[in-house]
Amino acid sequence: MPLLYETRESVAIITLNRPEAMNSIDPETRAELHAAWQRAAHDEAVRCVVLTGAGEKAFCTGSDLKKTMPPKESAAQLTFGQAQSNHLLAGMEMDKPILCAVNGYAMGGGMELALACDVRIASENAQFALSEVRIGSIPGAGGTQHLPRLIGRGDAMLMLLTGDRIDAQEALRIGLVSKVTPPAQLLETALAIAARIAQNAPLSVRAVKRLVREGAALPLPQALAMESYVFSMLRDTEDRLEGRRAFQEKRAPVYRGR
């Protein structure tokens, strides 16, 4: 199977499973990835998602050029004529947090998948690149927009215009990843973080993610107004009251997303 899906308690694990092809994305994998995002988004038991790749050599090297033919449809048909988007990142807009455990190469579309996640953890052997300019193209799955917003314009332009690779330590220095671990500890580190997120009040977690995502495109006064509005929405939820009771009673809270 080109993609594996499993759950551990409240965490869904999505694994790109084509290590023989550097976990590159062929049409079947793309379709299964889209379905996996929908499955995780609609499963109320899932509170956090971890995306990774099989093996230690590569997380994902982008599209499998041997199996991905140019589309037969026109640009207009692809944009307006389909009921569901076939964009690589389709389905990742969910409010549930997505962590990426980058094991090895994250190149092209593979790096763009990682950029679309909320938190990135890298193994010591990870390498990152958006080298499309070297082959007369551009990063077309969000790379030119996500990267500058994440690491700043200067470092992003250096990567985008040269197409150079960077290693895990450089990725950590510029803020592309949050942690670097030995390869053997990568998935467990990501799952431990995901478990901590999943223990928190789910409505609050999803609200924080949406506020960060949507607030980034707003002037600060409007973003703060949106934050205030969302705070008032959450103020009387059952989970907020449960959090206070649990603190007073010195016990772990039991959140239900209500």
Q: Residue 170 has what pLDDT? A: 97
Q: Does residue 15 or residue 135 have the better pLDDT? A: 15
- Of 6, 32, 132, 214, which is the active-site residue? 132
Residue 123 pLDDT > 60: yes
Residue ranges covered by each domain of the chain: 3-198, 202-249
Q: Residue 20 has what pLDDT? A: 93
Q: Tokens representing 168?
A: 């895990």
Identify the residue whose tokens are 């455990």: 101
Average pLDDT of the residues in 21-37: 94
Residue 70 pLDDT > 60: no
* pLDDT tens, residue by residue, 213-247: 999 999 999 999 999 999 999 988 988 888 888 88
Identify the residue whose tokens are 């190149």: 107
Q: Beta partners for 44?
A: none
188 part of the active site:
no
| Residue whose C-alpha is closest to residue 55's, from 144, 112, 123 | 123
- Of 28, 73, 93, 112, which is the active-site residue? 112
Phi, psi for residue 186 in degrees, rounded to 5? -60, -55
Q: Residue 65 has what pLDDT? A: 64
**216 Cβ neighbours under 8 A, 6+ residues apart:** 149, 223
* pLDDT tens, residue by residue, 81-113: 655 667 899 999 999 999 999 999 999 999 999
**CB-based burial, 6-35: b 16+ in 10 Å, e otherwise:** eeeebbbbbbbbbbebbbbbbeebbebbbe
DSSP letters for 102-147? E-SEEETHHHHHHHTSSEEEEETT-EEE--GGGGT---TTTHHHHH
Q: Residue 100 has what pLDDT? A: 97
Torsion of CA 32, 38, 41, 44, to 10 degrees: -100
- Please tell us whether the domain made up of 3-198 is placed in CATH 3.90.226.10: yes
Residue 74 pLDDT > 70: no
Pairwise CA distance, residues 190 & 49, whole Å: 10
Q: Residue 250 has what pLDDT? A: 84
Q: Does residue 76 or residue 254 have the better pLDDT? A: 254
CATH architecture observed for domain 202-249: Orthogonal Bundle (1.10)
